[in-house]
Copies of this chain bind each other. A is one copy, B any other.
Amino acid sequence: MKPTPKFKLAPLLAFGAHPDDIEFGCGGVIANETRAGRAAHFVICSRGEAGTHGTPKQRTMEAKKSAALLGATVEFIELDGDAHLEVRVAHVIKLAGILRRIRPGIVLAPSLVENQHPDHAKLGRIVRDATRLARYGGLKELRKSPPHAVDQLFYYAVTPEAEPRDITPVLIDVSAPEIVAAWTAAMAAHASQVRARNYIELQLARARLNGLRAGIGHAIALFPNDPLVLDSLLQMSRSARRF
């Protein structure tokens, strides 16, 4: 059983380039956090309009349904459009503004590995830079909202190719049956996408593999942007080396 937090937790904020990226990349982590009492909010940066399957309208509805299944709220923003994203300072500042509004503890973003859908790595870089600019007091575009420093930025990998090779991952235990169920349902809610390809199987196989490594059911790898800081090793008592 997960502990009830004694103090109000800073919310989790997850960014996705397309309507289904967060769910496929780390939906189980979201379910795990909301169940533990943390608020979660999604910011989705396109309607997936360049994809082969699904209309923008369909995909928006799927994303809303999926977020609800994970216990998260969701908003859509306009950057450059699906498959058209560029890394611009204007985007960085826009996201920094969202960070100052939501004031999250944990931020999740797609990984920086370039050999994947180009929007993923670009959004990852925009989010990374936004977590810095959100801290700078003199930024005139954001003068009205007070600076905000997040606790930690983690990257998620939408596909195996997107897993960074130069960051040691942390594995989040998502083995509880209700977590796996919520995650699977959230992925299935993206009906237009899962009809065409084996995305759910891919993600569950990845999580199962991580689970087998850790001697548990399922686990999702996250990749910290900065070294973790611990009060003591009491916080850190499990590792993945079962085989």
A185 at the interface (CB under 8 A from B): no
Q: Mark A218-243, 1 if CB is under 8 A from B, else 0.
A: 01011011111111111111111101
Which B residues are in CB contact (< 8 Å) with A38?
Answer: 233-234
Contacts of A229 in B (CB 8 A): 170-173, 214, 216, 219, 238-240
With the chains together, A133 CA to B165 CA distance in Å?
24
- A52 near B232 with CB under 8 A, answer no
> How far is B68's CA from A188's CA once the two chains are assembled, in angstroms?
43
- Quick check: is A94 within 8 A (CB to CB) of the other chain? no
Chain B's nearest CB lies how many Å from the CB of A209? 5
Looking at A82, A105, A235, the one whose CB has the most chain B CB atoms below 10 A away is A235
B contact residues around A78 at 8 Å (CB): none
Residues of A in contact, count (CB < 8 Å): 97
Asked whether any CB of chain B lies closer than 8 Å to the CB of A195, the reply is: no
A157 to nearest B CB, angstroms? 11
A27 interface residue (CB < 8 Å to B): no
**A83, B132: Cα distance in complex, Å:** 10
Which of A33, A84, A133, A236 is most buried by chain B, counting CB atoms within 10 A of its CB? A236
Q: Which one of B106, B114, B224 lies within 8 Å of A128 (CB-CB)?
A: B114
**Sample of 20 A–B contacts (CB below 8 Å):** A33-B232, A50-B136, A80-B89, A83-B139, A86-B89, A115-B226, A161-B241, A168-B224, A171-B229, A201-B212, A205-B209, A206-B209, A214-B229, A225-B239, A227-B240, A228-B228, A228-B236, A229-B240, A230-B238, A235-B235
A contact residues vs B (CB 8 Å cutoff): 2-3, 5, 9, 12, 29, 32-33, 36, 38, 48-53, 80, 82-86, 88-89, 92, 105-106, 112, 114-118, 125, 128-129, 132-133, 135-140, 147, 151-154, 158-161, 165-173, 197-199, 201-202, 205-206, 208-209, 212-214, 216, 219, 221-222, 224-241, 243
